[in-house]
Amino acid sequence: QVQLVESGGGLVQAGASLRLSCAASGRTFSNYAMGWFRQAPGKEREFVAAISGSAYTYYADSVKGRFTISRDNALNTVYLQMNSLIPEDTAVYYCATDDRSWAPKTVAAYKYWGQGTQVTVSS
């Protein structure tokens, strides 16, 4: 059974940095794509970043240049380094994975989800 557990969220001021972690278990981690999504109050869940099984990375335009996704296959963990945070980044951040190596950018493409971690950026 695939399990994903996010951590690292919190309350920070605009301009600060946070690093989110997502620990995966239940299968061989390195073969599969991993994604980060977020959902703000009253809004739909949206794509943030993804990394393929071959470590190609993809970003939403809104976070490009500020966020970095990476993975440590030895630790079965994917990270989201978030720099220069702005209030618009406030949301619950979710980690996701699916049964494929390439990295989709849509919510519907991902089969397995974590419980989420709250990120709040104050102005």
pLDDT digits (tens, 9 = 90+) for 63-117: 999 999 999 999 999 999 999 999 999 999 999 999 999 889 999 999 999 999 9
The residue with greater pLDDT, 102 or 28, is 102
Q: What is the mean pLDDT of residues 2-22?
A: 97
61, burial (CB in 10 Å: exposed 0-12, middle 13-18, buried 19+):
exposed
Q: Is the pLDDT of residue 27 over 90?
A: no
What was the pLDDT predicted at 29?
84
CA–CA separation, 34 vs 20, rounded Å?
A: 13
